[in-house]
Structure 1
Amino acid sequence: MNAPGAICSLISNKGQIMANLRTAPPLSSREKECLLWVAKGKSSWDIETTLGISKNTVNFQLKRFF
C-alpha cells in the first residue's frame, strides 16, 4: 500500500482506531520510555545502550506499537 492509500485507510478506520485507544491498557513506564526514544529517531540498538536493557527487551516493549 502506498502512503496516500495508507492515510486514506487510517482516516476511514478512525472510529475503530479511537475505540481501540480508549480500551487499550495504559502504557508502562518502560513502554513510554522506549516509545519516546523511537519518536526521537533512535534505533533499537541506541535505546538498549541508553537504557541499559537488552535488545529483546526493547523489541518486546515496542511490539505493542509496531
Structure 2
Amino acid sequence: MGPLPPDLKGTRVYCVRCDQLIHPDEPYDTHIHHGASGPGSTTHTHKQCPKRPRRPTPGPANRSQPKPDHRP
C-alpha cells in the first residue's frame, strides 16, 4: 500500500512484527483478522521492517567490579 489512508491520518500505526512506528511515507501491508464472536481486528506490518539500532555493549568502565573477598 502507499501512504496511510485518510482514516489513519493523525493516528499512530505500529508494525506488529517489529513494534516500530509506521511513518506515513513508508510502504506497509494491512492484515484483517476476522473475529468469530466480535468485530475482529486489523493489523499492519512494514513491507520490510527497518533495522533496529544496536544497543551499545557495556565496556569495562561500565561494569561493576566484584567486591573483594574478605573471608579469613
User: Normalised by the size of structure 2, how large is the TM-score?
Assistant: 0.20
Structure of greater Rg: 2
Larger proportion of strand: 2
User: Normalised by the size of structure 1, how large is the TM-score?
Assistant: 0.21
Larger proportion of helix: 1
